Chains A and B, each alone.
Chain A
Amino acid sequence: MNNLIILPILIPFVTAAILIFFHKKIRIQRWLSALSSIATIFVALVLVQKVHTDGIQSLNISSWDAPFGITLVSDMLSALLVLTTSVVAFVCLIYSFKSIGAEREKFYYYPVFNFLIVGVNGAFTTGDIFNLFVFFEVMLMSSYVLLVLGGTKIQLRESIKYLLVNVISSALFVITVAYLYSVVGTLNMAHISQRIAEIGQPGILSVIAVLFLIVFGLKGAIFPLYFWMPGSYYAPPAPVLALFGALLTKVGVYSITRTYTLFFYHDQGFTHELLQLLAIVSIIAGVIGAIAYWDMKKIIIYNIIVAVGVILYGVSVMNIDALTGSIFYLIHDMIIKAALFLLVGTIIAITGTSNLKKVSGLIKRYPGLGWTFFISALALAGIPPLSGFIGKLLIVQGGFEGSSYVGAGVVLMSSLLVLFSVMKIFINGFWGVHRAYENEDKAPVKWLLISPVILVILSALYGIGTEAILPYISQAAETLANPSIYIDAVLKE
């Protein structure tokens, strides 16, 4: 019994409900959301420390014992992800203050923002497969609203696509849960894992595993299922885009990680080989997109696909090094993708365009922006003192240990092309002749820079303080590699 783990879900939820009453009073909305966001970060920090000292925390909601009620489980992985989510949400929130515009703010922007955080934190924390579906829907419905809010033409068009894809994938999710329920007869994740281990994963469960891969792959944008993402993520304004890019696909990645390490680890020759193949092709498809475009938003969006591929490759190798690397990389990527999207948003706020060929010479007037972008580009590619390095190193090491040389090679090569794609933005956008832009004087650049600078500092600290963070991450990886720790903590046997 420990109500601490409900708080990262409850605090944004209460805030969202209260903000519905004050939707015209922008000042109250901003203050309340910021305060609740800080409170969530604080609670998440306490939670991480608690999980670190006392082991996995679980809460049987409404006092019903584990397999029968809904159980919330906070192991180290989910606690760390909840912490990262809260931090990313906070910086996106302060970025929104000066960039989203009063029109949107009056139309329930902040309540919906908080509902999105409820969904994401809930999806990371739940220990029940159907509850995971419900939190997915909370998150997706909020994302529909955030995507369409403002009602410009491109937003309307892209949200139809996004909605269609997600309605179909949600239906598939329900069908998959129905199959799983008819085979194992339970919805509690720990109990499902136990039942699957008892019957030793016959063919039907491998089918369900692949169905889960399709469902979560649609949400998390892996190779053949990422087709909706470049268009849909192109439409919303910068803080919303940063939130989507940093959080939404990562929930899909987390769910794949969870199901493939907790449920379907008995027939790795089939399921994990498939995951590995798709992950490698995702990396390749992602870098092709990233180097092909001359549009800043598109380049970063394709980099999401690369990162999803890298993380899932680490998961598919399934040895302790690769899993540790995946978790390192997952958290790093959430931070740095948010930073990059916010930086691109700032550039767009100054220049009014995301076309790289129309932008140049920004570093003369905005050195702070330029160097922040440069550092985050290096962090994205994985240059040693910064945060992307250790994750990729461990993934590659795990790949070689698992004798999967092709995959590890692809991960290494992808770093080079990722670096090329973001350096293309830096060289073309920041170097060269300075041009005059329309919105230049109106853009509140100083305020907009606060959020990405916070994230880049965090990313640098994350990279430098690897030694201090390692115990937390290896605790998370240990649970993934050894599902019995999770099962024992939940079912208390």
Chain B
Amino acid sequence: MRSNNNIILETTMKVVLFIIVLFSVYIFFAGHYYPGGGFIGGLMTSGAIVLLLIAYDIKTVATILPVNYRTMTGIGLLFAIGTSAGSLLFNVPFLTHAFGHIEVPILGDISLHTATLFDLGVYLVVVGVTMTIIQTIGEDE
């Protein structure tokens, strides 16, 4: 544990962190119509976690976010493979996507596209890989 008192950094971080996470989620969902998408969204989420790492140390962050980032990478890959290989079941070429409109109670009519799930896979892989790199280098003595 570090000895010096980082109260300004820690307090600012607590405010800023949520704005960054929100922005990254916004950018992830905006990807289809505006600049953004899984890659930059994932990078920005990992940026938020890196900010946590700067304010605290690796062990504290691991208790705040008990995530195994390597498993996360695997799950992301499976998402990407699953959405692209799902088209094999419908006997259309690999990676053919589908979309549709559904009614959600509060949001009303929204359009859903399986490309979003592919993007979610990209998002998870990017977060997983970035955090694995940073954690591994950070833990290295």
The answer to whether the Cβ of A61 comes within 8 Å of any Cβ in the partner chain is yes
* Chain A binding surface, main DSSP class: helix
A291 at the interface (CB under 8 A from B): no
Closest beta carbon of chain B to A36's beta carbon, Å: 13
Contact B92 A1 (CB under 8 A): yes
> In the complex the two chains form, is B94's CB within 8 Å of A59's CB?
yes
A1 and B93 form a contact (CB under 8 A): yes
A81 to B98, CA, bound (A): 33
A61 to B85, CA, bound (A): 11
A17 and B78 contacting across the interface, CB-CB below 8 Å: yes
A10 contacts B94, CB within 8 Å?
yes
In the assembled complex, the Cα of A18 lies from the Cα of B85 at a distance in Å of 15
Q: Chain A nearest CB: distance from B135 CB in Å? A: 16
Among B21-29, B44-52, B68-76, B101-109, the stretch in contact with A: B68-76
Cα-based distance from A14 to B85 in the complex (angstroms):
10
Quick check: A63 and B73 within 8 Å, CB to CB? no
Most chain A CB neighbours (cut-off 10 Å) among B71, B85, B92, B94: B94
A13-B85 Cα distance, complex, nearest whole Å = 11
Q: How far is the CA of A280 from the CA of B43 in the complex (A)?
A: 49
Whole-angstrom distance from the CB of A328 to the nearest CB of chain B? 32
A189–B91 CA distance with the chains assembled, in angstroms:
26
How many chain B residues have a CB neighbour from A under 8 Å?
A: 16
**A58-79 interface bits toward B, Cβ cutoff 8 Å, 1 = contact, 0 = none:** 0111110000000000000000
Whole-angstrom distance between the alpha carbons of A62 and B88 in the complex? 11
Q: Which residues of A contact B96 (CB under 8 A)?
A: 62-63
Closest-CB distance, B139 to chain A (whole angstroms): 15
A139 and B135 CA atoms in complex are apart in Å by 26
A60 vs B70: C-alpha distance when bound (angstroms): 32
Q: Cα distance A13–B88 when bound, in Å? A: 15
Query: Residues of B contacting A62 with CB < 8 Å?
Result: 93-97
User: Which residues of chain A are within 8 angstroms of B71 by Cβ–Cβ distance?
Assistant: 20-21
- A68 CB → nearest B CB, Å: 13
User: Does the CB pair B94–A17 fall under 8 Å?
Assistant: no
Nearest residue (CB) in A for B72 is A20
Q: Which residues of B are found within 8 Å of A61, using beta-carbon distances?
A: 93-95
Let me know if B54 is at the binding interface, CB within 8 A. no
Please report the C-alpha to C-alpha distance between residue A21 and residue B94 in the assembled complex, in whole angstroms: 25
Q: B74, B77, B81, B88: which contacts A3 (Cβ < 8 A)?
A: B88
Residues in A with CB closer than 8 Å to B77 are 16-17, 20
B73 contacts which chain A residues (CB < 8 A)?
Answer: 20
Interface size on A, residues (CB 8 A): 17
Which single residue of chain B is at the shortest CB-CB distance from A23?
A: B70
- Interchain nearest-CB distance for B4 vs A (Å): 35
Q: Nearest-CB distance from B89 to chain A (Å)?
A: 10
Q: Pick the contact of B81 from A1, A10, A23 — CB < 8 Å?
A: A10
B102 CB to nearest chain A CB (Å): 22
State in angstroms the CA–CA spacing of A20 and B85 once bound together.
19
| A350 interface contact, C-beta 8 A | no
| Cβ contact of A13, chosen from B70, B81, B92, cutoff 8 A | B81
Interface residue A147 (Cβ < 8 Å from any Cβ of B): no
A278 within 8 A of B: no
In the bound complex, residues from chain A placing their C-beta under 8 Å from that of B92 are 1, 63
| Contact (Cβ within 8 A) A17 B93 | no
Interface string of A1-29 (1 = CB under 8 A from B): 10100100010011011101101000000
- Contact at A18–B78, with CB atoms within 8 Å? yes
Closest to B68 in A: A21
How far is A13 from B77 in the complex, measured between Cα atoms in Å?
A: 9
Cα distance, A23 to B93, chains bound together (Å): 32
Taking a contact as CB atoms under 8 Å apart, the answer to whether B88 and A17 are in contact is no
Most buried by A among B77, B78, B93: B93
> For residue A17, which residues in chain B have a CB less than 8 angstroms away from its CB?
74, 77-78, 81
Residues of A within 8 A of B81 (CB): 10, 13-14, 17
B93 close to A20 (CB less than 8 A): no
Whether A20 touches B70, Cβ cut-off 8 Å, given contacts A3-B88, A13-B81, A14-B85, is yes
For the complex, give the distance between the alpha carbons of A20 and B78 in Å: 10
**CB-based contact B70/A63 at 8 Å:** no
In the bound complex, residues from chain B placing their C-beta under 8 Å from that of A14 are 81, 85
**A20–B95 Cα gap in the complex (Å)?**
23
Neighbouring B residues of A21 by C-beta, 8 Å = 71, 74
User: Interface 1/0s, chain B 53-79, versus A by CB < 8 A?
Assistant: 000000000000000001101100110
- When C-beta atoms are compared, the residue in chain B nearest to A14 turns out to be B81
Q: How far is the CA of A63 from the CA of B97 in the complex (A)?
A: 9
Residues of chain B contacted by A6 (CB below 8 angstroms)? 88, 94
Which 9 pairs across A and B sit closest by C-beta, in order of nearness?
A: A20-B74, A17-B77, A62-B95, A63-B96, A6-B94, A61-B95, A63-B93, A62-B96, A17-B78
What are 18 inter-chain pairs, A to B, with CB distance below 8 A? A3-B88, A3-B93, A3-B94, A10-B81, A14-B85, A17-B74, A20-B70, A20-B71, A21-B74, A59-B94, A60-B93, A61-B94, A61-B95, A62-B94, A62-B95, A63-B92, A63-B93, A63-B96
What would 9 more interface pairs be, CB under 8 Å, given A14-B85, A20-B74, A59-B93? Answer: A3-B88, A6-B94, A10-B81, A10-B94, A20-B70, A20-B71, A20-B77, A23-B70, A62-B93
